[in-house]
Amino acid sequence: MCRILFAKETNSFNVTKYLLPFSKMCKESKEYQGHGWGFSYLENNRWKTLKQIEPIWESVFPKNIISNQLVIHTRSAFEDKGIVIENNMPFGNEETVFAFNGELRKTKLNIEGRIGAEKIFNFINRLKKENYYDAIKRAVKIINKRTEYVRAMNFIISETNETFVYSDFNEDAEYFTLQQLSDKDKKIICSQKLAELGNNWEAIPTKEIRIIK
């Protein structure tokens, strides 16, 4: 399954600070992460997204993108299907972006979307009234009831000023547990601990909606 990362810092940074160690992690992953990738970054308080279809470790990274908030996603396509750049994440727009890691089996959702991850994002947005916290809480409850088996359902929804993280899995805790690093200057969520970015990582408990501001 896929790998995801969110980073927010007090001061601006060059995005390669995160792309390089994240790429190395993906290349060494026990599950193949080479079905394309993408990243979103804040510029003038609006999300901009770039996507590529080749493996992240074979890509040439942009050298001069500076931001203080970033979401990265690499894709491990289910059954090696639908490998087109349109299916790469993050999904979203200038206000909100979404990145997903997981696998749901036999989910019944009457919602539009090219792949399962996009359907989940669209379903959450359909339920959103005032805030994403309540929408996520409602959505995951319904999704679990309408799914035969949730192998894992980890995702990040990041607005320009607030980010929501949800984690749920029923197997392979070592692989699916999301990790968080926080200090006074930065907050990071990642599919794995990245020693290059710091040592003070903590595991995010399952079935918890975590808010980062």
Per residue in 17-68, pLDDT (tens digit) is 999 999 999 999 999 999 999 999 999 999 999 999 999 999 999 989 999 9
pLDDT higher than threshold 90 for residue 122: yes
pLDDT on residue 55 = 96
Cα diameter, the chain: 45
Distance in angstroms (rounded) separating the CA atoms of residues 106 and 112: 16
User: Are the beta carbons of 123 and 109 closer than 8 angstroms?
Assistant: yes
Per residue in 167-193, pLDDT (tens digit) is 999 999 999 999 999 998 999 999 999
Helix, strand or coil, per DSSP, at residue 190: strand
Per residue in 73-107, pLDDT (tens digit) is 999 987 777 789 999 999 999 999 999 999 999 99
Tokens 């997204």 found at: 49
pLDDT higher than threshold 90 for residue 1: no
CATH of 3-212, one of 3.40.190.10, 3.40.630.30, 3.60.20.10, 3.40.50.720: 3.60.20.10
Residue 50, beta-bridge partner list = 39
Domain boundaries, the chain: 3-212
pLDDT on residue 174 = 95
Distance in angstroms (rounded) separating the CA atoms of residues 112 and 43: 29
